[in-house]
Amino acid sequence: MELSQLKIKGKYYLSLTIPYDRELINQAKSLGGHWISDRKKWLFPYSTNLTRKLELAFWLESPAKQNKIRVPAEYLALLERKRYSPNTIQTYCSLFSQFLNYFKEVEPSELTDSHVATFQTHLVKEKRISTSSQNQYINAIKFYFEKVLGRDKRNYHIDRPIKEFKLPTILSEKEVLTILRSVVNLKHKAMLYLVYSSGLRAGEVVNLKISNIDGEKMRVYIRGGKGKKDRVTILSQKALEILRDYFKKYMPESYLFEGQNGGHYTTSSLRKVFQNALRAAGIDKKVTLHSLRHSFATHLLETGVDLRYIQELLGHNSSKTTEIYTHITHKGWAKIKSPLDLLDL
């Protein structure tokens, strides 16, 4: 099996060669492949994200990686049967394969909690990973031990790291305005307007269909968001006006924001759009696209919107997740006087 790039009439595609096998053919079709008989290849729209999905689905590896252990087939199969998102599958397989490669001489089914403890020490002391990354490694390993091997959860003891409490960095209303004004491309402007005005995640924006925008009720319908949950959030009047201009110019067919080679826009491209806008605006804060979502929630809270509504708009399962924004907003602090200033010194 071989994966390569192919240029046809000025457009780039991913070219995949696989043996004739019904299961492999179905896999190629499910990922949007089209069989080109004269070339004897499967063609896919080019994207970095799809490249990784194909590598994962067909176990395509570079020569430098061929001596590395791959995750057991039943591990990947179970992730897919449980309908984990492509991003989660990619992350779990990548992290779990690192664990397996750390103990190359040990059969995966023979690995124990002591191996996990040793591996965690390696991650913390040598790789110096964050606690959130450490938790991801543990979850990937636990999935194999508990879901694939069926080990009893009660007998599976791993000291999980203490979760750090970090406040997200937000942008002020003035900074958001400067960023949005710096964007010239109409499609890019429309996407960033939606992220901020509706509190959307990157993946939710690129997966929006035209039918998900309701200009009459001023709603945005999110289908299969994080945790495969549907939800409804607000649609800004200004965002709607930009969307209407964008639609007239680009005329998307299915996805609201389509890539150059068809299909939906990629999250990596959307994040680059934000970083370019950040530079154009002259803002040197260490923020990401997700900071616009954090800013959406914080600014709503500062205008007096009830925390319960904000939780619903963001799609948070727990109110505790939304409560973090109460630690960020400083509105009203000007009226608070230090007890020192109340003393008659």
Per-residue burial over 254-270, b = 16 or more CB atoms within 10 Å of its CB, e = otherwise: ebbbbbeeebbbbbebb
Q: Is 272 a catalytic residue?
A: no
Q: Sheet containing 34-36: which strands, arranged edge to edge? A: 2-8, 11-17, 41-45, 34-36
Which residue out of 219, 223, 226, 271 is catalytically annotated? 226
For each of the domains in the chain, give its residue range(s) and CATH number, in order of start. 1-60 (no CATH), 61-164 (1.10.150.130), 173-293 (1.10.443.10)
Q: Is residue 3 within 8 Å of residue 16, measured between CB atoms?
A: yes
Could you report the per-residue pLDDT of 277-308, keeping only the tens digit for each?
Answer: 999 999 999 899 999 999 999 999 988 899 99
Which residue out of 189, 201, 264, 294 is catalytically annotated? 201
Amino acid letter for position 170: I
Q: Is 330 a catalytic residue?
A: no
**Tokens matching residue 173:** 């209303």
Could you report the per-residue pLDDT of 183-233, keeping only the tens digit for each?
Answer: 999 999 999 999 999 999 999 999 999 999 999 999 999 987 776 788 999
Highest mean pLDDT among 88-92, 103-107, 166-170: 103-107
Over 242-279, what HEC string results?
Answer: HHHHHHHHHCCCCECCECCCCCECCHHHHHHHHHHHHH
pLDDT score, position 159: 58
pLDDT, mean over the chain: 84
Q: Is 226 a catalytic residue?
A: yes
Angle formed by the axes of helices 113-125 and 86-102, to 10°? 100
Helices H, strands E: what count in the chain? 14, 7
Which residue out of 115, 142, 219, 316 is catalytically annotated? 316
Q: pLDDT tier at 155 (50, 70, 90 boundaries)?
A: low
% of the chain beyond a pLDDT of 70: 89
Which residue out of 188, 293, 294, 299 is catalytically annotated? 293
pLDDT score, position 6: 77
Q: pLDDT tier at 330 (50, 70, 90 boundaries)?
A: confident
- Across the range 71-84, mean pLDDT stands at 88
Could you report the per-residue pLDDT of 227-282, keeping only the tens digit for each?
Answer: 678 899 999 999 999 999 999 999 998 899 988 777 788 888 899 999 999 999 99
Q: Is the pLDDT of residue 162 over 70?
A: no
pLDDT score, position 56: 67
Q: Is the pLDDT of residue 113 over 50?
A: yes
**pTM of the predicted structure, to 2 decimals:** 0.61
Quote the DSSP letter at residue 164. Answer: P
Q: pLDDT tier at 178 (50, 70, 90 boundaries)?
A: very high
User: pLDDT: is 194 or 321 the higher one?
Assistant: 194
Q: Is 293 a catalytic residue?
A: yes
Q: pLDDT tier at 8 (50, 70, 90 boundaries)?
A: confident
The separation between CA 16 and the C-alpha centre of its own chain, rounded to angstroms, equals 26
Q: pLDDT tier at 66 (50, 70, 90 boundaries)?
A: very low
Q: Is the pLDDT of residue 65 over 80?
A: no
Q: Is the pLDDT of residue 172 over 50?
A: yes
User: pLDDT: is 237 or 134 the higher one?
Assistant: 237
